[in-house]
Structure 1
Amino acid sequence: MNKMIPTESLQDYYQRTGQAVPKELLPVAGGASHFSVRYTTAPTRKTPFNRRDYYKICLSSASGRGTGSLIYDDQEIQLHPPCLIFTHPSVPASIEISFTSASRYGCIFNKQFIESQILPDVQYASPLFNPALYPIVKLTEEERDRLHVYFGEMQRLQESDYPFKWDMIRNILQLIIHEGVRLQQSQLSQTGVVRDRLVNAFYTLLNQQFPVDSPETSLKLLTPAHFADQLHVHVNHLNSVVKKYSGKSTRTIIHERIVTEAKALLRNTSWNIAEIAYALGFEYPSHFNKYFKQFASVAPMEFRQQQAAVAGNI
């Protein structure tokens, strides 16, 4: 039996939405870069709750009567447009918008398109690349109108014959990502982008372990000491710097990420508890049960049953 977690590819996305698969995504293309932006006014049905192998940014300008929600890992977030929505590929997500006026832009792109374009410091500060951050950025009408121009210009370039259009689109896309960081930080009264390379390197190393795709392999970096060894620093120094910039201990951040992944596996796979325990680095299922209950307040099997009951009522 195949135990891999299904992840929607760009090819899957185009087939699911009834569009032709672009030629650069065909197998013979060998993993070429891809970008696409679309404008729509139609309400969307609830999209599949899954992970993806691509990035997505939505600008929702919906108004009037209706509802909108984003299911993002363990959160159900009510949408109050206008807003920007950033979804990280490794986080299972589903979106539903049913406003009477549901205009929105959406752009999707793969790692090859944006690779090496975004500084590590900015990646740490953006929910598009850092799954620990809140995925929604609220907008004023003025901010929405400005971003609407950016998305519209990307669409015009996409449809043009200009030979360097993809470079221009990358520049505008970076501008949108920076706008998201700037606006979110101002709304949350956060400090500026973290400039400490050790903190950024720690989060990069942590996020590289996820998503867990198979019960056949096990997480290797489970403690602050494991990360300190990889980063070639003393564990006390790592703990001190991470605490200074995040307000949390290194151990707490690691625990939160492992529990988040455990919940995703319990909700989205048919793996048994022993398989999930092994995949997350636990030698014995009993250790995983105790660990999960400590942070989630319920046992893994009880959590799975609760999520199944909720899904059955949707």
Structure 2
Amino acid sequence: MSKILKIRNVGDYSQWVGHTDTHPLVSVIDYAEVSPVRHCLNNYSVYGIFFHDEANIDLAYGCGKYDYKEGTVICVAPGQIGGKEDNGELVNLTGWALLFHPDLLQGTALEKHIREYSFFDYRVNEALHMTDEEHDILVSLMRQIKDELQKKHDALQDAILVGYIELMLNFCQRFYNRQFITRKLVNSDMLMKFDQLLRDYYEEKIQLTSGMPTVQYCADKLCMSANYFGDLIKKMTGDTASNYIRQDLIQRVKNELASGASISQVAYELGFEYPQHLSRMFKKFCGYTPTDYLRQIQKKPGC
């Protein structure tokens, strides 16, 4: 069984790599100052942002593996497991780590919306790949936080630290948005795979036992986390993945109705438990009922 290091607070990780903290809730580690270090497979109860300037490490994250390359940022949140099991090997690393405990955020605006940074729930193979400019920005912020931690603690220090952390998270979000755009060709291929997945779902009659396809189902089939998949579809289409699935379903309903099937038949064929459920969803998206659509089908073929 794998030995897992429990990171209950920032000091647990700092102690492992040989770093001395000056704040109980925040730690900034310059790996060049503590290397060489041993690997560890971690169970996090803190937030963490990690990147290495020179790395080629086979990391575990959840049930998967990831080849951790230079210029890659990995973000972890409480409840996640990641890293590499300690095999006694010592590795020389350059780069940075920022760890902060959720208690630091108590009573702050960031506490309320930190989960909106969906990249904390991305899988490692969906990590951020920085440009040189982006790397320099994050290093600069790491140095500023480190400098602040070396100052004498006062009534404003925690607020300043939270401000720096929020700024870093916003930059990470900006960089991820850039990554979605620069990978446009790969992403467009993913959209085609998404469409094919929906076609296969109904052709294989999966809806008869499992109902409407879910975002989680589609993300799993496409080997993505639900958050990354949802963000990717939103960037590409301007709409949520769940709405994309529903719009696809609405078009299928229209096609079936136009071919002469009854509302009850369509509801059964597409996996609705009751025809009323189909009617409610149809009206919500189209603004009128399937019955209205049948009446107007010759005059108004679309909603």
Q: How does the TM-score come out when normalised to structure 1?
A: 0.48
Structure exhibiting the larger radius of gyration computed from Cα positions: 2
Relative contact order, higher structure (CA 8 A, sep 6+): 1
Larger helix proportion, structure 1 or 2?
A: 2
